Structure 1
Amino acid sequence: MDSFSIMANSILAVFSVMQLGLIPIMAEGETTVFGAVGEQVILPCIDKSHSDGVTWKYNDRVVIKYQGQLLKGITPMVSRSELNKQEMSKGNFSLILSQLEHSDAGKYICEVGSRTFKVQLQVFEVTGSPSGYLLQGENLMLSIQGSSSANVTWSNNRKDKVTATQSRELKNGGRSLQIHNLQAEDSGTWRCHITSLSAKLDIPYKVLVIGFHNLNQEILYKAVNSTVSFSYSLSTHLLQIRELEYVRVGLEWKLMIGSKYLEKFNFNVTSKEPLWSKQMANMEVTWKPSNHLEVKLPRVQSKDAGWYQCQLTVSRGRVEKAIHLVVMTVSADPVGPLSKWANVTLLCKLSAPIPPNAQLFWEHVNGTEKKLNMLGHSEVKVKTKTVGLWRCSLKVENNMMTSIDYTVVKAAEWNNYVIWAAVGASIVLLLLASLCTFICTARQRRRRRAEKMARARRDLIERRTCQCQLQLKNDYSDA
């Protein structure tokens, strides 16, 4: 028999033996599965031949086995492993692992009848340093722990891919993300995306930043004698942070940059306190325990201008936000009615310099006169003879911020006001004088009448006394 015939017969013999099941078929291709620490993962094993039994092994040690009944081995993950019996009847022998640990990573083998399936499990974890809640302005390092062969990318809380910037730094080939100067807007779920040729995984990481919204410099422009409201909103619901053991809220004030803050008030926050409102330092303070402080200051004066800084102090540090209050005042020289041919100087002034994109100006309401301030000046003057309503206004980027009205009155008009006021006062005084005269006269009449009656009574008594004495004397004489 030639060599070709011998080779052909040998191949046929091998196939015959394999069909009889005497020689195991070669193992199936290896599958890679990614899992996250603390989560659940499914290791696939599909065999539509509906075999009655399956054995799962980890590092050649039995994890779980089913041959008519369920048997478990002694591997570390055995208490966290299970099979879906309903799916097994459909040929699905996948292994379910719960509460993954780093030690669960490795090679798993699924044996179903004569078939063998290999699964390579890689376990990853995203860690943050520091962990737990963070304060505004702190830095956060996110790192991925696990296989170094996978490709790693990151996305922020708005699902945008993170690239290297001044505040975002990628390290260790992208396996670590350094977030500098955290802001309230950074709170939310960040994600680590892990990919390879055969597997992928997204791991979320919740970033919780305690801070104030809109940390940019906030300026409130208010007219004198108006009411101002300072609003401070936190990015996080404080009562939802279990680690917070100490929370203190306070308000400070200073007149100008460079001066020292002076405390207006402070209070401790407890989870049991409902929404409350109190009077503190001549202010109405409203606190919503979750994340909001509102302070109302009535009848603002020039002395109230300055920076109002809210401080939130926790056991790990503090965050703060300042609001700048700028007060507008107006005055006139001379004060009072404007005499004929005289001028009046109207002055409008702010308690702080205005920005370059602002306009401070006087205008005559329903008139054409208008006077703008000089660039960079915080006051504007207008010298005028025009009577009527004048208005000082402040616009920033064409948005009206605040205004004050002042009325210039003619002297004649003022004199009329004075005359009518004098006439009215005279009438009132005359009525009061008449009333007083009537009351006094009535009292005098009553007094005279009382005195007259008293004299008559006294004379009558004296007269009766004399008559009695005379009668008594006559009686003695007769005796």
Structure 2
Amino acid sequence: MDPFSITTNSILAVFTVMQLGLIPIMAEGETTVFGAVGEQVILPCIDKPQTNGVTWKYNDQVVIQHSIYLSRGRIPIKDRYELNKQEVSKGNLSLKLSQLEHSDAGKYVCIVGSRTFEVQLQVFEVTGSPSGYLLQGKNLMLSIQGSSSASVTWSNNRKDKVTATQSTELKNGGRTLQIHNLQVEDSGTWMCHITSLSAKLDIPYKVLVIGFHNLKRETLYEAVNSTVSISYSLSTHLLQIRELEYVRVGLEWKPVIDSKYQGKFNFSVTSKEQPLSKQMANMQVTWKPSHTLEVKLSKVQFEDAGWYQCQLTVSRDHVEKAIHLVVMTVSADPVGPLSKWANVTLLCKLSAPIPPNAQLFWEHLNGTEKKLNMSGHSEVMVKTKTVGLWRCSLKVENNTITSIDYTVVKAAEWNNYVLIWAMVGLGASIVLLLLASLFIFIFTARQRRRRRAEKMAQARRDLFERRICQCQRQLKNDYSDA
């Protein structure tokens, strides 16, 4: 219930009891009333039922006068005060003042015949610096303006009394509250409690922090070729603030800690339409109704690992949230079926070093073989002849974070026989080829010797025949000469 309702009900209760004659009428003297800027307040004046009317004055100037007719004064607040004419004849002469301002503070006098009732009005206001929407991680200073004689305390959005802590600081006797490093959990209604011996007032102040739920950096461990969803949950819907502030959302990525961020996308939230989803290569960006920005990577690769940072900019200030994506991959050397006498080397690798309390290891399922990474590095290797299903797992405190399976397949027996016979056949072919080459060489050499022998025999025959012919010609010539 607001302060005005409480005050109104109290006055009505007092008036009702007074009408029954259970308590005396309001005694002359001074009453203190607290009011908040922008709100309304009732200045009490209760007397016995009469028809003489009432006159209200503020700083010796007539505010309102009522006898048979109602007349108003000429001071600036004339349009913000009123009397309940139905209650005046019953003795309830209280004055209601609306839309309070600091200048309304001061002494009010209710004059009924020869009787006067004084009301001291004190007006307070809680101001915030900076005002309006606040970004996560920034500081906020709340101050109370008004009379310095009142006691001031504060309560947070959980209705707990505020004391001096690491995140809150009280100054000027509690009249100033400094809130450091605002978080989205600080959003809500904070209350300023003002009290004195005769009056009290509670003034609410609404704090709205824009940022991300759980601003701490997160790490996601995923297997290669899996689908990864990276979510950034905002504290409030952007549609609620875009009409008042310039809002921009962007996503940046860097592969390693030492490298610079590279822009993936960014857009301004300026229209009244819901931000549209975006599709870029293997990345899908979607706005969820629950104030969540979701980035989905399909068939993530080892090269996609790194830091994904979402930046929210409101006016000239910005706040970021980074999520580290660590990708696991496995490989085998050699690749393919494993022959009977061969070994295979299985390598499991992470894109970042494992946490101190984590274990990265290979294990043969349904078997006893296991290879554990004892060095804390980002990879583990096992050399084995054992076929079957192998699994690389990352565990933190006995909880499996991610894993990948690899099946070592044994080469079929007939393949081995084929390989052996192929080798035998290859050897036999080589021997046959050598024998054939030798045979051809010997045969060719013999043919060459045979041809040479035939040529020499032919030459001897030819020479013999030429000698016979010469002898015959000589004999013939001798006979002729005789």
Aligned to 1:380: 380
Whole-Å Cα distance in 2 between the matches of residues 126 and 195 of structure 1? Answer: 15
Counterpart residue number, 1:122: 122
Instruction: Say if 1:124 and 1:415 are closer, same or farther in 2 by CA, change over 3 A.
Output: farther
Q: Which deviates more, 299-308 or 378-387?
A: 378-387
Report the 3-state secondary structure (helix = DSSP H, G, I; strand = E; otherwise coil) of the residue aligned with 1:336.
coil
Does 1:246 pair with 2:246? Answer: yes
Gaps of 5+ in 2: 1-24, 420-482
In the alignment, the residues of structure 1 paired with residue 296 and residue 381 of structure 2 have an alpha-carbon distance, to the nearest angstrom, of 31
The answer on whether the counterparts of 1:349 and 1:380 sit within 8 Å (CA) in structure 2 is yes
In the aligned structure 1, how far is the partner of 2:185 from the partner of 2:322? 18
What whole-Å deviation, never above 9, does each CA across 1:184-232 have from its counterpart, x for those lacking one?
2222222211111221111111222221221101111110001111211
1: CA distance, partners of 2:83 / 2:397: 67
The worse-fitting range, judged by mean Cα deviation, of 105-114 and 211-220 is: 105-114
1:78 maps to: 78
Does the C-alpha gap of structure 1 residues 43 and 26 become closer, same or farther in structure 2, counting only changes over 3 Å?
closer
Contact preservation (8 Å) 1:264, 1:281:
no
1:213 matched residue in structure 2: 213
Q: Judging changes above 3 Å, is the alpha-carbon distance between structure 1 residues 240 and 90 closer, same or farther for their aligned structure 2 residues?
A: farther
State the one-letter code of the partner of 1:142: L
Query: Would the alpha carbon gap of residues 213 and 353 (structure 1) be closer, same or farther in structure 2, given more than 3 Å must change?
Result: same
Cα 1:75–1:339 change in 2 (3 A) is same
Please identify, of 113-122 and 297-306, the stretch whose mean Cα deviation from structure 2 is larger.
Answer: 113-122
Measured at CA, do residues 410 and 124 of structure 1 come closer, stay the same or move farther in structure 2, by a change above 3 Å? same
- Across the aligned residues of Structure 1 and Structure 2, the Cα RMSD in angstroms comes to 2.6
Instruction: Name the structure 2 match of 1:166.
Output: 166
Aligned counterparts of 1:137 and 1:414: Cα–Cα separation in 2:
70
CA distance in 2, matches of 1:394, 1:94: 75
Deviations 1:85-138 (A, max 9, x none): 233344322111110000111111222344322211111011111222222222
Is the CA contact 1:276–1:288 (under 8 Å) kept in the aligned structure 2? no
Q: Which residue of 2 is the match for residue 404 of structure 1?
A: 404
Matching residue of 1:145:
145
SS in 2 for 1:77: helix
CA contact (8 A) 1:239 1:290 kept: no
- SS of 1:267 mapped into structure 2: strand
Give the direction of change, closer, same or farther, for the CA distance of 1:245–1:128 in structure 2 (3 Å limit).
Answer: closer
Change beyond 3 A, Cα 1:399–1:49: farther
* 2:53 counterpart of 1:49: no
Change (3 A) 1:112 1:328: same
For 1:103, what is the secondary structure of its paired residue?
helix
Matches within 5 A, 1:291-440: 291-340=291-340, 342-374=342-374, 376-412=376-412
Query: In 1, distance between residues paired with 2:286 and 2:352?
Result: 28
Instruction: Specify the code of the residue in structure 2 equivalent to 1:167.
Output: S
Q: How does 1:435-450 map to 2 (within 5 A)?
A: none
Tell me which amino acid in the other structure corresponds to 2:334. P
Q: Distance in 2 between matches of 1:279 and 1:242?
A: 24
| CA shift digits 1:214-264 (9 cap, x unpaired) | 110111111000111121122122222266353222211111112111111
Match of 2:10 in 1: none
Rounded to whole Å, the distance in 1 between the matches of 2:365 and 2:115 is: 94
Find the aligned partners of 2:174 and 2:100 in 1 and give their Cα distance. 24
- d(CA) in 2 for partners of 1:117, 1:300: 80
Cα distance in 2, alignment partners of residues 57 and 414 from structure 1: 115
Q: Please state how far the C-alpha of 1:51 moved relative to its aligned partner.
A: 4.8
The alpha-carbon distance between structure 1 residues 152 and 26, as it changes in their structure 2 partners (threshold 3 A), is closer
Instruction: Look up the match of 1:182.
Output: 182
Residues 26 and 47 in structure 2, CA contact (< 8 A), matched pair in contact too: no
Measured in 2, the distance between the counterparts of 1:413 and 1:47 equals: 114
**1:202 maps to 2:202:** yes
SS of the residue 1:244 aligns to: coil
Is the alpha carbon distance of 1:102 and 1:242 closer, same or farther for their aligned partners in structure 2, counting shifts above 3 Å?
farther
* Structure 1 residue aligned with 2:38: 38
Measured in 2, the distance between the counterparts of 1:414 and 1:236 equals 67
- Name 1:267's counterpart in structure 2: 267
Determine helix, strand or coil for the equivalent of 1:91.
coil
CA distance in 2, matches of 1:88, 1:391: 89
Kindly provide the amino acid, as one letter, of the partner of residue 359 in structure 1: Q
Aligned mates of 2:245, 2:344 — CA distance in 1: 62
CA contact (8 A) 2:26 2:46 kept: no
TM-score, normalization: structure 2?
0.75
2:66 is aligned to 66
Residue 307 of structure 1 deviates from its aligned partner by 0.5
- The CA deviation at 1:32 is 1.4
Within the alignment, does 1:91 sit opposite 2:96 as a pair?
A: no
Counterpart mapping for 1:277-288 below 5 A:
277-287=277-287
So what's the TM-score if we normalise by structure 1?
A: 0.76
Separation in structure 2 between the aligned mates of residue 406 and residue 26 of structure 1, nearest angstrom: 91
Superposition deviation, residue 154 in structure 1 = 1.4
Distance in 1 between residues matched to 2:81 and 2:121, nearest whole Å: 14
Structure 2 CA distance for aligned equivalents of residues 239 and 167 of structure 1 = 30
Measure, in 1, the Cα distance between the counterparts of 2:254 and 2:242. 34
221-230 or 388-397: bigger deviation: 388-397
Q: Contact 1:138–1:182 at 8 Å: present in 2 too?
A: yes
Cα deviation code 1:262-291 (max 9, x no counterpart): 111222223332352221253111135994
Identity fraction in percent: 85
Cα 1:85/1:364, change in 2 over 3 Å = farther
* Secondary structure of residue in 2 paired with 1:131: coil
For 1:123, give the aligned amino acid.
V
Q: How many residues align?
A: 394
Give the 3 Å change call, closer, same or farther, for CA 223–79 of structure 1 in structure 2: same
8 Å CA contact 1:239, 1:289 repeated in 2: no
Q: Which residue number in structure 2 is paired with residue 433 of structure 1? A: none
* Equivalence for 1:425: none
Determine the C-alpha separation between the residues in 1 that align with 2:48 and 2:26.
Answer: 17
The whole-number CA distance in structure 2 between the counterparts of 1:389 and 1:197 is: 81
> Which letter does structure 2 place at the counterpart of 1:185?
E
Point out the more displaced range, 278-287 or 364-373. Answer: 364-373
Q: Which amino acid aligns with 1:93?
A: L
- How far is 1:351 from its partner? 0.6
Measure the CA separation in 1 of the matches of 2:288 and 2:269: 10
